[in-house]
Amino acid sequence: MTLLPESWDTRIQRAKELAHESDATKEILTFYAKLLQSQKEVDEFLRSRPGWLPSGSLAEDLPVIRECSSVVLRTVERNGPPPLADEARGLLTAAGTVDQLLLSYWQSPSDTQFFAKAILQPYMRWLAESGGHPLDRGFESIEWRCPFCGGLPQVSFLKIKEATSESGNRDLVCATCTTNWSFRRVACAYCGEDRPTKLGYFHTPAYDHIRIEACDSCKYYVKGVDLTRLGFAIPLVDEVAAAALDIWAHEHGYTKIELNLVGL
């Protein structure tokens, strides 16, 4: 497990920049920038709490997370697409429901549990950075699942790690805790398939540094961001901006391994 070096501010800035580049994704990236800002506030709240570190037991840490989860809910209520905004409004008034959402996501993360995923990403990340481990949940240890929390990959990226390597090493970024781990360069990030004839790639000139990495064995795909082509790209954010590639993948019968926080 390693940690992408970028700060919340770098991610927010990148989302704002990309929002100006395309009318098609302006709205979702503007929303994503606001959402990242609220996640940053959750993160800062957790880190600045005197004498407190996450225990790794969500049930135990819940009272602390509860205190800051409304930042995310209020942001979505004000800036999210109407169905999500309505849901946020409901959650802000229904005491106890958010606890249930978080606990159920903790046991079995799902990309359709938007609020729990958004609230728990900063918590999980801080748990990883502060040397903790998830305690009260089990997960399988598989090469193509996050070694820290068992989460699915949100995006993959290529980056040159050693001076001797020219084409770059591949990492996967966890959708649940946003840490990353190195993975085989030519293999499906969902089922591990590594026969080249079963793996397909798609990219368009519109996004020179991003491609679809699809598998014909399991029919799942993930987006790959090539940092050897565009060093200042931010995988989690650039992946969102390349929404047009998701349309191509769906039209060709592939399912995304994990939907991102704007539901694409």
Query: Between 146 and 227, whose beta carbon lies closer to Zn ion?
Result: 146
Please state the closest distance from residue 181 (CB atom) to Zn ion, in A. 8
Please state the closest distance from residue 254 (CB atom) to Zn ion, in A. 10
Query: Between 5 and 96, whose beta carbon lies closer to Zn ion?
Result: 5
Angle 23-47/58-79 helices, nearest 10 degrees?
140
Do residues 114 and 258 touch, judged by C-beta distance below 8 A?
A: no
Query: Between 30 and 217, whose beta carbon lies closer to Zn ion?
Result: 217
Q: Provide the residue type at 230 as one letter.
A: L
Per the rule left: phi > 0, alpha: psi between -120 and 50, beta: everything else, 143 is alpha
Chain positions contacting Zn ion, by CB under 5 A: 146, 148-149, 151, 174, 176-177, 188, 190-191, 193, 215, 217-218
Query: Between 11 and 34, whose beta carbon lies closer to Zn ion?
Result: 11
Q: What are 223's strand-pairing partners?
A: 212
Q: How far apart are CA 238 and CA 193, in angstroms?
A: 25
DSSP letter for each residue of 172-202: EEETTT--EEEE-SSS-TTT----GGGEEEE
Do the bridges between strand 210-215 and strand 220-226 make them parallel or antiparallel, or are there none, so unpaired? antiparallel
Query: Between 4 and 28, whose beta carbon lies closer to Zn ion?
Result: 4
Please state the closest distance from residue 206 (CB atom) to Zn ion, in A. 26
